[in-house]
Amino acid sequence: MNNPMILVVEDDAPVRNLIVTTLKTHEYRYLTAKNGAEAILMAASHNPDVLFLDLGLPDMDGIDVIRQVRTWSNLPIIVISARSDDGDKIEALDAGADDYLTKPFSVEELGTGPSTPTGGFGSTIPPAARIWTARS
- Is 56 a residue that touches Ca ion (CB under 5 A)? yes
**According to CB under 5 A, which one of 54, 88, 98, 99 is a site residue for Ca ion?**
54
SS3 content of the chain, % helix, strand, coil (to 5): 40, 20, 40
The piece of 7-15, 26-34, 66-74, 113-121 that touches Ca ion (CB under 5 A) is 7-15
- Is 11 a residue that touches Ca ion (CB under 5 A)? yes
Whole-number Å distance between alpha carbons of 85 and 108: 23
Residue 76 CA, chain-centre distance (Å), reads: 8
Pick the closer one to Ca ion by CB: 12 or 64: 12
- Is 91 a residue that touches Ca ion (CB under 5 A)? no
- Is 38 a residue that touches Ca ion (CB under 5 A)? no
Residues with Cβ within 8 Å of 97's Cβ and at least 6 positions away in sequence, in order, are 53, 66, 77, 78, 79
Residues making contact with Ca ion (CB under 5 A): 11-12, 54, 56
